[in-house]
Structure 1
Amino acid sequence: MSEPAVPGTPYDRRDPDPWLALALDRSLPFDPAAKAALIRGQASRSRQFLLPVVRPFSRLVIVLAQLIHMVTPRWPHAPRFLHWSIAFGMKHFLTRDANTLILRHFHLGAQILRFIADNATPGFRPELEPMTPRRTDDVRANLFLNHDLNMYNFLIQLNQELARRGAVVGRVEHLDFSAITDEIVLDEIPEGRFNVIDLHTAIELYTPAYALLLTDRDFWRAANSLQLDETIGLYAARLTGEEKHLAMINNRHPLVPFSTLQAGFRLVLHGLSTEVLHGFLRELKARRAADAP
């Protein structure tokens, strides 16, 4: 599936393509180009044949890493080498679709956090690391680690400010959508003959590297930041007064952490819920603009 499916696409009714059905479905508020990129990866030979081999190996390495960290919880600690290796792999082995979705994710997450801050605490901006990568080499600046740190720093600073004001996150009648954009600008992503690994398989490969090359505390924090999907989704629901996007959140209950063995799959779900929440906010922005006098 090289292009987004359109109504009228020929198919065999006796053997319908599941991916075609999902591509044509419009039940989720999902950017069409991003959804097409995700489906191409999910339907790829890489995910079909390589992922089943990679996944058990990945989980075994995570177990070994945790055994090592039981003895030396703060060693190894090589975030620069980790991000260099991730950037190298993205540039030389991941598909263009996978790289686009990864880079796009950082932009979406940053926009969602800013939207919440703009509306929950107007005039206050939490001090966070910038998350606007345009090319794979930008990952080298500890981008993944900083993304995780931003999540916790955002929650701490936002709630400290709310407590200072004696305020709570509640419905806002006139929402500020200036943080939410319709397009994410990226540089052209090159694709060579070896760029064949899909997004899901790549995440399963990177997760054990994360476990090995970061401290036990850093990996634990990163894995459990995924469950903050529920917290961010609830903030958005309280601000907008709408809750339909909450049905797509699978990383729930941050007070009761999941096993880190599931981090790879949960990271894929994290990307999906971020796309859906951002798509929901884009739709709401367009709807409010159309209703404005």
Structure 2
Amino acid sequence: MNEKLTTVTHDRGCPNDAIGRLENVDHDPSDPNPWVALYLDTSVPFNECAKASILVDVSSRSRQFLFPLIRPLCRLTICLLKVVKTLIPNAVHSSWLLHHSIYHGLRIFVSPYANHLIMRHFHIGSELLAFVANNTKGVDMELSPLRPRALKDLVADVFLKHDLNIYNFIIEINRQLNEKELEFEAQEELDYSCITDGEFPIEPLPNGWLNFLDLESAIEIYTPAYQMLLTDADFWRASNSLQLDETISLYATTLIGDHRFLGLVNNRHPIIPESTLGTGHRLMLHGLSAECLHAFLVKKKREQARQQSAAPQLAE
């Protein structure tokens, strides 16, 4: 296959042409474009390039025509695999095969917009955990950040490590707080140094003639693959980790002293697990929540920088 890499760079730093595609749509008041309306709306904090990538991705023909066929077939596969896994829970499992199959699938079939969002997600997840760790008094956390620069980096068990990092983080930070009888508390001075204001160092992504598949269709396809090639316990843990959006968001907003963001969290109540059948859609919501929380922190970082720059002038 002749594979090319995206080299389009928008003037605002976006590594693909998503922003340009939306901004070049002509507005017809009698037939307004719903994706342009959502792109221009600023009610929800969102990285501009990531938002454009999502909207171009969900408005694709793949999402419109293939996704309705892919989802029921993949959910039926999950049900069948659940029966098999009940009888032989750990007969077939290979994290190596899972991550290599995901890598090759992303490289060959998935759109550059979807791949851009996937790669961003691991950087964002690492920075959100670092923000909580750096601003929680009384804890000393040793983190394992995931910073993939190219799709090839994902083969190093990155998807599995992403879930493990979240659980290990929650266990360790709460163990330390409980031992010292401390709690998460709002801080007057917050450290935003770990939050990237701009694009992450991600290499150009494949943009061949087969790179057409949208993000949610790809997620639906890989959910049964995840179930088949991981142990039953690993799959359940990965699925249930999606509801930890609420937990991490509570940590961050408590430290900031502003809980308005929690209204944007859709994966909630981790004590009561959801069915694994909806894992694909919940994973989309997980990515959305992470993007919004990160954008919220970027906004707070900019506000802090403005206040600090204005302080010397006021003193004069």
Structure 2 length-normalised TM: 0.89
Q: Measured at CA, do residues 259 and 165 of structure 1 come closer, stay the same or move farther in structure 2, by a change above 3 Å? A: same
Alpha-carbon RMSD across the aligned residues, in angstroms, is 1.4
* Cα separation, 2, equivalents of 1:49 and 1:161: 50
Which runs of structure 2 are paired with 1:1-293 in the superposition (5 Å)? 2-4=18-20, 5-6=22-23, 10-121=26-137, 124-128=140-144, 130-182=145-197, 183-292=199-308, 293=311
Superposition misfits of 4+ residues, deviation over 6 angstroms: none
Counterpart Cα distance in 1 of 2:48 and 2:304: 21
Shift of 1:259: 0.3
Question: Could you give the per-residue CA deviations for residues 50-80 of structure 1, whole angstroms, max 9, x where no partner exists?
Answer: 1011000110111111111111122221111
Q: Which amino acid aligns with 2:222?
A: Y
Is the radius of gyration larger for structure 1 or structure 2? 2
CA apart distance, 1:161? 1.3
TM-score, length of structure 1 as denominator length: 0.96
Moved more, 162-171 or 80-89: 162-171
Deviations 1:9-34 (A, max 9, x none): 63221221111110111111101011
Alpha-carbon distance in 2 for matches of 1:127, 1:93: 33
Could you list the runs of 5+ residues in structure 1 that have no partner in the other structure? none
Range moving further from structure 2, 194-203 or 115-124: 115-124
3-state SS in 2 of match to 1:131: coil
Structure 2 letter corresponding to 1:268: M
How far off is 1:237 after superposition?
1.2
Q: Which segment is superposed worse, 156-165 or 31-40? A: 156-165
C-alpha displacement at 1:122, in angstroms? 5.8
Give the equivalent residue in structure 1 for 2:12: none
Q: Which moved more, 1:66-75 or 1:246-255?
A: 66-75
Matched length: 291
Q: Distance in 2 between matches of 1:290 and 1:127?
A: 30
Change (3 A) 1:195 1:239: same
Contact 1:227 1:253 in 2 (8 A): yes
Percent of paired sites with the same residue: 47
Question: What amino acid maps onto 1:62 in structure 2?
Answer: I
Quick one: which amino acid aligns to residue 193 of structure 1?
Answer: W
